[in-house]
Amino acid sequence: MMNEKLSRRGLLAGLGTASLLAPFSRASAFIESFETSSAKPFRVAFLTDMHIMDAPVRADEGIAFTLDHLSKQEVQPDLIIVGGDNLTGTMGRDLAGATSMRDRWTKVFRDKVKGPVLYCAGNHDHWGWNKTGSKSTGNEPLWGKNFARDMLQLDKLYYSVERGGWKFIVLDSVQPFESRYIGGLDAEQWEWLKGEIKSDLPTVITSHIPITGISPLVVDGTPGETSHAVPFGSTFKNMYDVVALIADHSNVKLALSGHIHFEESVTFSGTTYWNGGAVSGAWWLTSTADANRRTQRNPGPIPRLARANPGYSLLDLSPNGEFKIQQVASGWKGATSR
Ligand SMILES: [Fe+2]
Ligand SMILES: [Fe+2]
């Protein structure tokens, strides 16, 4: 299980006096809801979509670069939340390929990060649902979500903890469907969430796939004559139920997600739905190279928009429920091809 110890300092290995001299990071987006709170906020770094990859895009180096960047922040995080998609294409790889990726991610991440982390599983963190591609039967011990549970050292992929005067709910938002996946909650987790969401503490919900937002519509939507269709691979199949539940619980201040590789903030009914972009940006390509590649592979009816710059989010959470968020560009330069 996760490390239960909390340390205000030294979350990342290598943090030292150099961090005091390093230039403060560029913030490409910034929102805030508090001005006068006197208590020291609880700082969370949200890192999502690290995407270890096969291709020569130097993913391992990019992840290490990002973690080094974070270690130079003047105010260090008290907690890191990992938003999922640590790996790439795991669902359809053979076990040797999947475990090789897992070992690479484990090495680069755990070499650098020594403090408390909340892990959220992404669609690329499960193994074998594509049985043909993965050459699996479904009976292997690491098949399906067991692969992510093993990598993330979690018995359950949805859970909650209380830290810094806030409640953190982590959802398992990826469900098997045919030989792939859809976003949302299964019946058991939905029942659990309806109880778990009740809290006197201000609350952050994290899901890999966005519960809702504009990105799924503008990135993956299909324009129609009288409405636009959004696939369940991009958002929750039970979006309406979950959004309504959150709207009924004013303690839920933030809903974090990744998956789409877009930076986004949508405040609806008192809750800010924040998409943290991606550590890998456009899967370690430049945005232009990624958009061109996607257009060539699948022209589609809508333009391919430029994805997030490589980076991560810093959240400063005040015990009274107010918060600030800044999106930090790591400065990693994407590759022009893979
Ligand atoms: Fe991703
Ligand atoms: Fe994803």
Among residues 138, 246, 264, the alpha carbon closest in space to that of 185 is found at 246
Q: With contact defined as beta carbons under 8 Å apart, do 200 and 162 qualify?
A: no
What's the 40 CA to ligand 1 centre distance in angstroms?
A: 33
- CA distances 177 to 65, 98, 116, Å, are 35, 20, 32
Contact at 8 Å (CB) between 141 and 38?
A: no
CA of 124 to the centre of ligand 2 (A): 6
Q: What is the pLDDT of residue 305?
A: 87
Hey, what domains does the chain have and what are their CATH numbers?
38-329 (3.60.21.10)
One-letter identity of residue 286: T
Tell me, in angstroms, the distance from the centre of ligand 2 to residue 208's CA.
7
Q: Classify residue 229 as exposed, middle or buried by CB count within 10 Å of its CB (0-12, 13-18, 19+).
A: exposed
Ligand with the closest atom to the CA of 120: 2
* Ligand located closest to 91 CA: 2
Q: What is the crossing angle of helices 187-196 and 239-247, to 10°?
A: 10
pLDDT value of residue 336: 92
User: Please, are residues 287 and 233 in contact by the beta-carbon 8 Å criterion?
Assistant: no
| Cα→Cα distances 38→34, 43, 320, Å | 10, 14, 10
Query: 178, 213 in Cβ contact below 8 A?
Result: no
**Residue 261: nearest ligand to its CA?**
1
Contact, 183 vs 176, CB < 8 A? Answer: no
The two three-digit tokens of residue 130, written as one number: 């594509």
Instruction: Tell how far the Cα of 87 is from the centroid of ligand 1, in angstroms.
Output: 9
Q: Which ligand is nearest to the CA of 182?
A: 2
Ligand showing the shortest atom-to-Cα distance for residue 49? 1
Q: For residue 175, report the phi and psi dihedrals to the nearest 5 degrees.
A: -120, 140
Q: Which amino acid is at 323?
A: F
**Span from the CA of 216 to the centroid of ligand 2 (angstroms):** 12
Cα 178 to ligand 1 centre (Å): 20
> 27-44 pLDDT, tens per residue?
344 455 555 455 689 999
**Interior angle at CA 261, CA 13 and CA 97, nearest 5:** 70
Q: What is the pLDDT of residue 2?
A: 38
**Predicted TM-score (pTM) of this structure:** 0.90
**Regions of the chain with pLDDT less than 50:** 1-10, 14-30, 36
> Measured in angstroms, how far is the CA atom of residue 309 from the centroid of ligand 1?
13
Nearest ligand to the C-alpha atom of residue 283: 1
Q: Which ligand is nearest to the CA of 281?
A: 1
**Ligand nearest to the CA of residue 86, numbered in listed order:** 1
How far does residue 13's CA lie from ligand 1's centre (Å)? 26
Cα(283) to centroid(ligand 1), Å? 7
CA of 88 to the centre of ligand 1 (A): 8
Tell me the CA–centroid distance for residue 8 and ligand 2, in Å: 30
51 alpha carbon to ligand 1 midpoint, in Å? 7
